[in-house]
Structure 1
Amino acid sequence: MYDTDTTASFDALSQPRQDSATNPSLQVIRRNGAAVAFNPEKISIAMSKAFLAVEHGQTALHPQGHKSSRMREQVTVLTQTVVTALMRRLPSGGSVHIEDIQDQVELALMRSGEHDVAKAYVLYREKRTSERASQPHDTPQLHITIDGTKQPLDIAKLIEMVAEACLDFGSEVNPKVVVEQAVRDCYDGISFNEVRRALILSARSLIEREPAYNYVTARLLLDMIRAEVLGESVSHAAMQSRYAEYFPHYIKQGVDAGLLDQRLAQFDLTKLCQAFAPDRDFKFGYLGLQTLYDRYFLHIDERRIELPQIFFMRVAMGLAINEIDREDRAIEFYNVLSSFDFMSSTPTLFNSGTVHSQLSSCYLSTVSDDLDSIYQAIKENALLQKYAGGIGNDWTSVRALGSRIKGTNGKSQGVIPFLKVANDTAVAVNQGGKRKGAVCGYLETWHLDIEEFLDLRKNTGDDRRRTHDMNTAHWMPDLFMQRVSENAEWTLFSPSDVPDLHDKFGSAFATAYCEYERRADLGEIMQFKRVSALQLWRKMLSMLFETGHPWITFKDACNIRSPQQHIGVVHSSNLCTEITLNTSATEIAVCNLGSVNLVGHLTEENGKLALDQTKLKATITTAMRMLDNVIDINFYAVGSARNSNYRHRPVGLGIMGFQDCLHALRIPYASTEAVEFADCTMEAVCYQAYSASSRLAQERGAYSSFKGSLWDQGVLPLDTLILLGDARGGHVDVDRNSTLDWEALRTRIQQHGMRNSNCVAIAPTATIANIVGVSASIEPDYQNLYVKSNLSGEFTVVNESLVTELKVLDLWDEVMVADIKYYDGSLSNIDRIPTELKSLYATAFEIDPSWLVEAAARRQKWIDQAQSLNLYFAVPSGKKLHDTYMLAWQRGLKTTYYLRSLGATSAEKSTGSGGELNVVAPLMPESKQCLIDDPGCEACQ
């Protein structure tokens, strides 16, 4: 079938470099162990020859003998696909075996539908493998380079090193398999650091078949980190003493390098050293530790100077820096962090204890309707984003397109061009390279520019009036939702004609709005537009599905249930829709976040798992103190943010690991039991958070604007459901039952006050959940087997709980892995899996979104702020979207977040024998779908 020239070209992938189209940081390991520079052109040549071989040259050539344009285009696209897959796995360079590249070529051909070419390619590979096996050959002796000299690679020592990482996992893991696979990717003269990386990549490739390799990979990475930081390989048994020896040196070099706050050197370091718990290093999975290494650990000239426990101690010291008994408090904070019971948000982890202590997560601002204020707001966005703050801007006050400008007697270009400037500012300020700047613009539904606001994320139209990188959200009054329900008309105004609507909510808003409509009818207001409320709503839902924006949030629920309505108005939420704080021209709202690991607080009682109330109280008491401390320690780039935060002292305690709890309790997400669990757990979390804030008020004093608040009036978040129902002229249909002694807490709060105006908000927790190794926030499982992509690379994620259950049933094998991959992480079509497990491990798109809304409504009744609530639609329809979002409004939810629909790519529907670089394809975002680990979301968590 193949002529000599064609067959020879299949091996061109492993030939030495012959042109400059190479990636010098990536090396290809040939079968004889030699290393050559990676050359993408060789992939293109091999694919071209494969097409020619199959097509026998009859249709692939022009008369002049050149490749057809169609084939050239296909080869170019497929080559780029292969190169991209390789570089995703090795973004910093490294070595890849020739067989791995050929695996990628095969997968690319199959994905593109070139099945004949792929089949020929597979047959050729099998033929060449047989030929090589029949020929006598010597296994090349590999050498490693240490300090410039070569010495033989000791396979036995590698197995011994990997075996230490495999301790505690028994027969589930095999160090020899890890080493054999790694050695295949080594070349003669390789450095020992590269050998370490090869071992890590080898172990990582086995995670999908055995989740225990997740922790083996993490331990191999830990060995590499310890060698980098300490300058030599150190066994785990020696780490207790090495932590103590290294810690004072770390503090000194960090201070000398201008990284650490000089006050850290004033702590009793000897006392802190005694608190280190090196065994907690083994709590990490691979994704968590790699994320810390790549994005959180401090470094000097790209060499990390932090180890995991030192990192947590640095964060704890930074948060305890103003405490009287600071060593004891630092140890207390260290213990909740390092034990994964609670995790501070990303900005706190980034910056605590450093010279730039910007620890707050979220900033909310109102943009006033004049040029100075607009550009001042954009400048403040840049300053706040510089140190990892996420921004929510309220743009409703800015006049609409065509409105008169008194100063020039001209007409306004509206709010859209300024949103474009805000978008580009977020792109320009990328938070020191750690993650993208992130901002969300909010606009009320009556704004005359609302229809163009809907189109901001479209990929068509005038690009000068598009914001491809900025999030957008609606700020909807109840009156609009009522008009939608009634299929009535809705009137759009310019805020320059109706300036007071921005600051009104509830019945006061409805009265004023109807009066403006009357004045418009009389000709007293000339600039307005009448539209069908239902048609506008349908367009909102259509754009939400098409582009993922604008998100839907509810103005009146946020304001009527706000404990701070006595001193201001909530004009928007934040970047991730969980913060609901007052803003004005003189106050930028600030919130500090952190989340309780809910699954870490389950305990066994009478043979059953239940929430450990005692441990939960202890964790939240410490966490609330940490969050309150942030307010006083925090670096404020903007004075109005500092003044607001000192005056109101809001914090946002959240949760993560909700789905893990349901798995542990064997409760399907789509069930009444899950809704009840959401209710009782959130009641417990909120009760302890409000109690802790009141105790802090008794110790430190109440926040300055406490007097007159709903707290002061004895109105707790549960009570505000009555206020919302009254404002809507009807009942808000949410269960009102409670189990804890709220009356006693009410009395305590009225007696001692609250330290914080707001206490609870459920953020997305994407990255900190990765660090801890639990399910994010209140999210259902996305898939049971998939690849997560973030700024640290790509990571295979396997549902460990599911694997454990399948092992008990003797169902976990290669075929099961292949089946789960084939069905994109879903179990529903795999016949041999019991129905009970299919229900328990249903994935996000298999759960009716109404269950997510019902669970969120039960949480919302206890929460004084809001929650980031993603809604998943496998097959969205206009009716389903309408019913779900209408249900969210009727249940009294304050906000919703992303609408997520199924992406175009999914788990690769093929199998391999191990070691392949892309046996599971990564989840790729579509325009209508949020990234699974959106760095923007991480401005909150």
Structure 2
Amino acid sequence: MKNKADKLKDKFTGEFSKNAITVLKKRYLAKNEKGEIIETVTELFKRVAKNISEADLSYGRTEKDTQITAEKFLEEMLNLRFLPNSPTLMNAGRSLQQLSACFVIPIEDSMESIFETIKNTALIHQSGGGTGFSFSNLRPRNDVVHSTKGVSSGPVSFMQVFNSATEAIKQGGTRRGANMGILRVDHPDIMDFITSKKDTARLNNFNISVAITEDFIGHALKNEDYPLINPRNNKIVKYLNAKEVFDTIVEMAWSSGEPGIIFIDRINKLNPIPKAGKIEATNPCGEQPLLGYEACNLGSINLGKFIKEKNNGFNFKEAIERLEKKPEEILSYYLELIDFDTLKKTVHTAVHFLDNVIDKNHYPLKKIEQMTLSNRKIGLGIMGYADMLLKLGIPYNSKLALKIAEKIMSFIDEESKLKSEELGISRGSFANFEGSLWKERGFSAMRNGTTTTIAPTGTISIIAGASSGIEPLFALAYERHVLDNQTLIEIDKNLKNFLEDTGLYSAELIDFIVENGNIGKSYEEGPADLLPKDVHEYLSKIFITSHDIAPEWHVMTQVAFQKFTDNAVSKTVNFPNSAKKEDIKEVYMLAYKLNLKGITVYRDGSREQQVLTIGKATDKSSDNEQTCPACGSPISDSANNIKQVVSDKKSGRQIEPRERPDMIRGVTIKTTTGCGPLYVTINYDENGNPFEIFNSIGKSGGCAQSQTESTGRMVSLALRSGIDTKEIINQLKGIRCNIPYGFGANIIYSCADAIGKALEKSLSEQDHIELNNDTHTHAIQERGACPSCGGPNLKRAEGCTICLDCGYSDCG
């Protein structure tokens, strides 16, 4: 006779995608000392449920009570309705027992504080957490240091130290280090900070955001100067034009997606527990503003699991007619399809679970434990929003979707408060309840200082088979590269189920979607011979991706969820590659006007192009150039001062590198070097000739990564300038270093040698590579190979770069 858990296991096992299995095996399932997996997925969830339920024993519950609680937790996870953040899944019930995803650590203006924070950061990263910092309290570059009679090197230089420390720490073998660096817009070094990631090889373990003040926005709107204030003595040191500073933020965001912006005054104005302190920083993805030494304890509800089954089939004509009506006329129809009763049960169980996490957590620092227990913040969020809309048949970019978003999030927020109040009555309110917003609003008690956050769900959404957070789909179908020469077609499950249920599925239709990225924006562009016109009309409205959605809809979606979220919302506003800087600026201002707490943008392909960016040799702007910390003289940056024109000595003519298309196809070749696995992605032009390369040295980073990246830049420059590929190969092959790899004919002498041999291999196998002249195909590749698995399917969402093949995320 099977028990309840075994029945759930049977139902659950069949829901894993290949990606989910890959992620679980690589990062979540417990392993022994030999690296062998020693638990099943069901055992993983049982381990977590049992461990977290045991917190109830501290509040007068019996062993039998905790078993009932564990069953509730297990049921939610096994049915994939709720999953906690990754550290909880990885560590609960194991020796590490560090369960929080992120922390904010304060930095004061002293060498002792800076390096104490670096030490604490290392401990946190080693335990599997990410860190956020405000560098706003550090004195500016070239400011006096009285104790040594020297000068300060400034916040950006210390960020480099933090970056290097992060590079050196392997996060528990399961998560990489992730940081958020924040600087107030009125800090004297603000221009250095804004442009600090102009070279994408720098600060590659940091997301950066500018803390925008209300005062700054006012000056920017009036095109006025504003004061920069030295935090050492709070004195004004100079003035800058606010509009010009804002335009620089926009320009950098346009070119590389960073910096993001947070509205720091608004964050503090809306802080529900203002007496606990002033907020200066957020976690690595910006959705969790935290006080110094606070930790975030996050989890997400999978909205795609709360849609009722339809019993009356599907009628395309009726579905189209409904969408032509005003939202208020048809909203009730769609709300009846949502299972709010089950959603309420899941919300209450999830709040109970996350509150228990706070008590079961082994915090890396005593100060973190004290602060976290004082405010007991939890962040219940969502994933699968796009799945829910697709199941309901609602376009992501519609007023109806915004109404649904508000209804769903307001329900989750309200029910989370009711459960937190219930826990507050039975267990006691958080320490700073008196004087909090919740006390003012008439709650008799409140267990948690905050209850809702919409955080990135990159890897847990892969496990759940759900769309990420509140993001739209990134692709309807794409090629997933496995092993050396195999590719699998990955199809969005919602599209596949819909096509199969309606009898429309065909290999020809899927091939068309893979090649075009959509089903055709008009009937004439679409597969007219495969779909009736009314069917195409419906599908083209419902099954859309982030590339099909205007930026304004991304912002409005974030606004709809932010209205009913205590903390903030992790969301990327996607722009096409053709977007202008003014488009970015308009979205930033829209975010400000509509009361968002922060915003992140990404222009498609901008980071991919940034890897090959060639700096303007004539740019002598004092705000952008590097200077010697000792004498203040300019320092040459070879990566940013490569000349755009290559001289051909034989003919005396000038060779200009060809412009790069917005989209381009290629292959990734894996090889092993003395520095670790090297992935060489070679992209081809419309004639099938090598056009550019990207190199990634796995997880090694540091010097090896910078050397292989610089080699890739120079090789790409040569390829785009028409240099014979064989000549390039001859120059690279045979270069030696002191750590060769392999033996005999297979020996790899150096990373440069490996790149040359990979390029040579691509030429020898070129006859087997099928290229498509349509430059709009395979838009997923963002910036070369995944540094974890070498696959090319990277996407930018929720403020992170995520690999669709293995679940790697540069946000941890």
Do the structures match in fold with TM over 0.5? Answer: yes
**Are 1:574 and 2:310 an aligned pair?**
no
Q: In 2, Cα distance between the equivalents of 1:888 and 1:624? A: 29
CA contact (8 A) 1:765 1:938 kept: no
Query: Which of the two has higher C-alpha Rg?
Result: 1
Whole-Å separation in 2 of the counterparts to 1:788 and 1:421: 37
Give per-residue Cα distances to partners, 1:451-499, cap 9 Å, x unaligned: 1112222228xx8xx423321111111221222222221222221131x
Question: C-alpha separation between the residues in 1 aligned to 2:487 and 2:40?
Answer: 22
How much has 1:604 moved relative to structure 2? Answer: 5.1
Match of 1:680 among 407, 412, 415: 407
SS at match of 1:425: helix
Query: What do the CA deviations read for 1:245-298 (whole angstroms, capped 9, x no partner)?
Result: xxxxxxxxxxxxxxxxxxxxxxxxxx9977863332112222112211121111
What residue number does 1:484 align with?
A: 220
Distance 1:863 1:389, change over 3 A: same
Opposite residue 821 of structure 1, the aligned amino acid is V
CA distance 1:281–1:606, change in 2 (3 Å):
closer
**Is contact 1:766-1:937 (8 Å) kept?**
no
Aligned position for 1:551: 260
For 1:100-158, what per-residue CA distance to the aligned partner results, in whole angstroms no more than 9, with x for missing partners? xxxxxxxxxxxxxxxxxxxxxxxxxxxxxxxxxxxxxxxxxxxxxxxxxxxxxxxxxxx
Aligned counterpart, 2:114: 374
* Counterpart secondary structure, 2:198: coil
Residues 924 and 931 of structure 1 are in contact (CA less than 8 Å); yes or no, is this contact kept in structure 2?
A: no
Alignment of 1:517-528 (within 5 A): 525=236, 527-528=237-238
Q: Does residue 1:772 correspond to 2:468, yes or no? A: no
**CA root-mean-square deviation:** 2.9
1:632-711 to structure 2, matched below 5 A, reads: 632-711=359-438
Structure 2 residue 21 is matched with structure 1 residue 289: yes
**How far did residue 617 of structure 1 move?**
1.2
Matched residue of 1:432: which SS? coil
Q: Contact 2:547–2:575 (CA<8 Å) still a contact in 1?
A: yes
1:566 is paired with a residue whose SS is helix
| 1:523-549 Cα deviation digits (max 9, x unpaired) | xx5x32x22211111111111122221
Structure 1 residues 905 and 435, CA, compared in 2 at 3 Å: closer, same or farther?
Answer: farther
1:232-243 equivalences under 5 Å are: none
1:603 to 294, 308, 313: 308
Match of 2:143 in 1: 403
Residue 923 in structure 1 maps to residue 788 in structure 2: no
SS at match of 2:273: coil
Of 688-697 and 275-284, deviating more is 275-284
Secondary structure of the equivalent of 1:654?
strand
Q: What does residue range 284-323 of structure 1 map to in structure 2 within 5 Å?
A: 284-300=16-32, 301-323=34-56
Identify the match of residue 469 of structure 1 among 202, 205, 213. Answer: 205
Change in 2 beyond 3 A, CA 1:430/1:825: farther
Kindly provide the amino acid, as one letter, of the partner of residue 844 in structure 1: S
What is residue 646 of structure 2 aligned with on the other side? Answer: none
Sort the Cα spacing of 1:905 and 1:296 in 2 relative to 1 into closer, same or farther, 3 A.
farther
Question: Would you say the 8 A contact 2:514–2:778 is kept in 1?
Answer: no
The residue type paired with residue 560 of structure 1 is K
SS of the counterpart of 1:402? Answer: coil
Name the CA distance, whole Å, in 2 between partners of 1:641 and 1:843: 40
From the superposition, tell whether residues 804 and 474 of structure 1 become closer, same or farther in structure 2 (CA, over 3 Å).
Answer: same
Letter in 1 for 2:586: D
Deviations 1:501-536 (A, max 9, x none): xxxxxxxxxxxxxxx6xxxxxxxx5x32x2221111
Q: How does 1:51-130 map to 2 (within 5 A)?
A: none
Given that 1:783 and 1:824 are in contact with CA atoms closer than 8 Å, whether structure 2 keeps it comes out as yes
Preserved contact between residue 390 and residue 936 of structure 1 (Cα < 8 Å): no
Q: Which amino acid is the alignment partner of residue 639 of structure 1?
A: K
Identity of aligned residues (%): 28
What is the alpha-carbon distance in structure 1 between the residues aligned to residue 456 and residue 470 of structure 2?
Answer: 8
Equivalent residue number for residue 339 of structure 1? 79
Write 1 or 2 for the structure with the bigger share of helix.
1
SS at match of 1:359: coil
Q: CA deviation at 1:921?
A: 5.7
In 1, the alpha carbon distance for the partners of 2:214 and 2:207 equals 23
The SS at the match of 1:320 is helix
Q: Which residue of 2 aligns with 1:759?
A: 451
Q: Secondary structure at the match of 2:72?
A: helix
Q: Partner letter of residue 295 of structure 1?
A: R
Identify if the C-alpha distance between structure 1 residues 796 and 591 changes in structure 2 by more than 3 Å, giving closer, same or farther. Answer: farther
Amino acid at match of 2:553: W
Bigger shift: 702-711 or 544-553? 544-553
In the alignment, is residue 352 of structure 1 matched against residue 100 of structure 2?
A: no
Q: Secondary structure at the match of 2:440?
A: coil
Q: 1:385 to 1:489 in 2, by over 3 A?
A: same
Residue 849 of structure 1 corresponds to: 551
Residue of structure 2 equivalent to 1:830: 526
TM-score, normalising length: structure 1: 0.60
Match for 2:554: what amino acid? Answer: L
Unaligned runs of 5+ in 1: 1-239, 242-270, 499-515, 517-524, 715-746
Q: CA deviation at 1:782?
A: 0.9
1:388 Cα deviation from its structure 2 partner: 1.1
1:885 to 588, 592, 607: 588
How far the C-alpha of 1:603 sits from its partner, in A, is: 2.1
- Residues 905 and 762 of structure 1: CA distance in aligned 2, closer, same or farther (over 3 Å): same
List gaps (5 residues or longer) in structure 2: 313-332, 609-661, 667-685, 688-767, 785-794
Q: Is the 8 A contact 1:319 1:630 kept in 2?
A: yes
Report deviation, 1:445.
0.6
User: Displacement, 1:430?
Assistant: 2.0
Q: Deviations over 1:147-188 (max 9, x none)?
A: xxxxxxxxxxxxxxxxxxxxxxxxxxxxxxxxxxxxxxxxxx
Judging changes above 3 Å, is the alpha-carbon distance between structure 1 residues 378 and 781 closer, same or farther for their aligned structure 2 residues? Answer: same
- Kindly indicate whether the alpha-carbon contact (under 8 Å) linking 2:142 and 2:152 is maintained by their aligned counterparts in 1: yes
Residue 350 of structure 1 aligns to a residue in which SS? helix
**Cα pair 1:786 1:907 within 8 Å, conserved:** no
Shift of residue 860, structure 1, vs aligned partner: 1.1
Q: 1:289 to 1:442 in 2, by over 3 A?
A: same
Contact kept in structure 2, 1:358 and 1:634, CA below 8 Å: yes
- 1:231-270 alignment runs, 5 A limit: none
Q: Partners in 2 of 1:617 and 1:558 — Cα distance?
A: 28
Separation of aligned partners in 2, 1:686 and 1:937 = 29
State which drifts further: 426-435 or 756-765.
Answer: 426-435
Provide the residue aligned with 2:634 in structure 1.
none
- Secondary structure, counterpart of 2:152 in structure 1: strand
Post-superposition CA distance 1:659-685 (Å, at most 9, x none): 011111111111110111111111011
TM-aligned CA distance change 1:918 to 1:641, over 3 Å: farther
Q: Which amino acid aligns with 2:514?
A: K
Change (3 A) 1:435 1:906: farther
Residue in structure 1 matched with residue 229 of structure 2 by the alignment: 493
Contact 1:703 1:754 in 2 (8 A): yes
Deviation, structure 1 residue 365: 1.9
Structure 1 residue aligned with 2:737: none
**What does residue 254 of structure 1 align with?**
none
The AA in structure 1 aligned to 2:801 is: L
Q: Report the 3-state secondary structure (helix = DSSP H, G, I; strand = E; otherwise coil) of the residue aligned with 2:598.
A: coil
Distance 1:900 1:687 in 2: 35
**Matching of residues 522-541 of structure 1 within 5 Å:** 525=236, 527-528=237-238, 530-541=239-250
For 1:384 and 1:310, the matched residues in 2 are separated by: 27
**Contact 1:617–1:688 (Cα < 8 Å) also in 2:** yes
Name the amino acid aligned to 2:48. V
State TM-score, norm by structure 2. 0.69
User: Is residue 2:574 matched to residue 1:872?
Assistant: yes
Q: Distance in 2 between matches of 1:578 and 1:937?
A: 16
Corresponding residue for residue 800 of structure 1? 493
In the alignment of these two chains, the number of paired residues is 597
Q: Distance in 1 between matches of 2:341 and 2:498?
A: 30
Farther off after superposition, 426-435 or 820-829: 820-829
| 1:932 pairs with 2:628 | no
Secondary structure at the counterpart of residue 289 of structure 2: coil
Partner residue, 2:318: none
Q: Distance in 2 between matches of 1:789 and 1:381?
A: 35
